[in-house]
Structure 1
Amino acid sequence: MNISIKENLGKPLTPAELGKLLGISASTVRRHYRRFGGVEVASGTYRFFENIVMEKIDANLRQAFEESTMEGSSNRSQESERTSISGRQPEKLPRRRSMGGRKTEGNDGEADQGRHGL
Structure 2
Amino acid sequence: MTRYLDLAGVCSCALLGGAVARTAGLDLFGFLVVGVISGLGGGMIRDVLLQHGTPVALTDYAYLAVAFAGAAVAFLIGIPPWIPPPSGGGGIGLLRSRAGKADSPPGRIGVHRQRPAGDW
- Into which bin does the TM-score normalised by the smaller protein fall? under 0.3
Instruction: Provide the TM-score with structure 2 as the length reference.
Output: 0.27
- The structure whose residues are more often helix, as a share, is 2
Which of these two proteins has the greater Rg computed from alpha carbons? 1
Structure showing greater relative contact order (alpha-carbon pairs closer than 8 Å, 6 or more residues apart): 2
